[in-house]
Amino acid sequence: MAESSAPSHRPTVGIIGGMGPEATVDLMRRVIVLTPAQDDADHIHMLVDNNPAVPSRIAALIEETGPSPLPELIRMAKGLVASGASMLAMPCNTAHYYADEIAAAVAVPFLDMVELTGRRLAAVAPANATVGLLASTAVLKIGLYERALRRHGFAVRIPDRQDAVMAMIRAVKAGDTGVAQQNSLAIIAGELANAGADIVLVACTELSILTHNTAKTVPVIDALDVLAEEIVARGRRTRVP
């Protein structure tokens, strides 16, 4: 076997996962695919807490019928850091409502997917562009991405058929990630473009799983890709002794 060129003492990413489990695995897959590796040792060290028992973000934030997930998210974050994580990532857009509290609870960087995505759009999209936002109703109601995008001067457009978006999210959670769901997402992305969106932002990790055909209809930025790229960029750096 060829010797690995992997630098020693690379950072380790801790993934606060399980929201949902498939989105967590999808983030890991994207990190692996994006990593320039010739051998196992060239890949990013990932510690994963894939915990599907995190209290419902929708029940807590929208329905106001369930407990806050924040204590469990902080417990997971601290556990990952105690196990050696030198940075944290969380492949759930809705849970980023608690990003500031999670970041404040640990002494390592928290990679904020919402802020990273806003910066990416600012770098690649035309000034004053209209961003078509594909996200869960919960993310729309708490205004996570609208605030981040408007800080960069973007207008935001949401789908006319948000019920269809939620149907796709539920389908993915139930294991249906096939061509029919992928095509449905592409159609709604096209509708956003026809309604004036210059670029479409996929801001739901369940929808991220369905994006295979979406870029054929309109320019697309996927927040999960942005997070995976940041993990790879940081994970390939050698720690300063």
Identical topology for domains 12-112+226-235 and 113-223: yes
pLDDT of res. 240: 36
CATH topology (fold) of 12-112+226-235 = Rossmann fold (3.40.50)
105-136 per-position pLDDT tens digit? 999 999 999 999 999 999 999 989 999 999 99
**Active site (annotated) includes residue 204:** yes
Cβ 72 vs Cβ 95: under 8 Å: no
Catalytic (active site) residue 92: yes
Q: Write down the domain spans for the chain.
A: 12-112+226-235, 113-223
From 31, 20, 17, 23, select the one nearest 77 (Cα to Cα): 17
Q: Is the whole model's pTM more than 0.75, yes or no?
A: yes
Of the candidates 204, 220, 221, 226, the residue annotated as catalytic is 204
Per-residue model confidence (pLDDT) at position 3: 40
DSSP 122-170: HHHSPTTPEEEEE--HHHHHHTHHHHHHHHTT-EEE--TTHHHHHHHHH
Residue 173 has pLDDT above 80, yes or no: yes
pLDDT greater than 50 at residue 5: no
Q: Which of 13, 48, 92, 113 is catalytic?
A: 92
Q: Taking the domain 113-223, which CATH number applies?
A: 3.40.50.1860
CA distances (Å), origin 110, targets 89, 118, 165, 221: 6, 16, 28, 21
pLDDT given at position 99: 98
